[in-house]
Every structure is written in structure tokens, then in C-alpha cells.
Amino acid sequence: MQSAIADVYTCTYKGQTVYQGKPCPNSVKTKLNVPQQASAFLTDTQKYKLWKAARDPQIGMTGDQIIKATYWGAPNRKSAYTTSRGKDELWYYTDLGYITFKNGKVTSISENSGSD
């Protein structure tokens, strides 16, 4: 028996980010690695945790989005400096790599190679 994978849509409703099982205008769909039948028994909190665990950081995200909507979460360490072009920031993650921000938006993501 083959089972489908559950879809979770990221939507904005009244200025708040919500996660739901049905599409909404301009939504982002993410596949949960859970059989459709099993997802019916998950709470919204459990679905959110699975959704977050599957999300990679993306160019253009804000720091808040990185923390709340990706498996990278909050950094282990930050450094920031301001230039005539704006504010630059580096977020360091011990096991994952680092993320570079320019004026509050992700401009690059450097992942550790994972080789020992």
C-alpha cells in the first residue's frame, strides 16, 4: 500500500503566519515526511515541528524567519557591523555553517561540508 505525503501551506492571515493543510493565496507548500493517514492524528504543534524540521534557510529570508521557520533556528553566535551601505550580520551555527545578512535579509548561506 502506497501512502501520500501530507502538504502544509504557509500563509499570512491578518499579519500572522499560519500553517494549514489547504492552499491560500500566495502560499508556500511544504511536504511533510509523514504518511497522509498518520498526519490526520498529529496536533497542529506536531505538524509545525515537522514542517520546520524540513525547511532549509532561503536567500531573502529575515532573521525572524530563519529562527521561526527553519531547522537552523537561533544561531550559536552573531557578529554585526555597519558600513556606509548598511548593516551586515553573520550568524554562526556550530554544526551547520553560517548565514550572512545584508540590511536584515539573508544574502548567503554557507553550509558545513559534513565530512569528518
Q: What is the CATH number of the domain that holds 103?
A: 3.30.1450
Q: Which domain holds residue 84?
A: 57-116
The per-residue pLDDT for range 104-115, each reduced to its tens digit, is 999 999 988 765
Q: In what order do the strands lie in the sheet with 86-93?
A: 77-83, 86-93, 97-102, 105-111
The reply to whether 77 and 26 lie within a common domain is no
CA distance 109 to 97: 8
The reply to whether 112 and 78 lie within a common domain is yes
The reply to whether 33 and 61 lie within a common domain is no
The per-residue pLDDT for range 10-43, each reduced to its tens digit, is 666 677 776 666 666 655 555 555 555 556 667 7
The reply to whether 79 and 27 lie within a common domain is no
Number of domains in the chain: 2
Q: Looking at per-residue confidence, does 17 or 2 come out higher?
A: 17
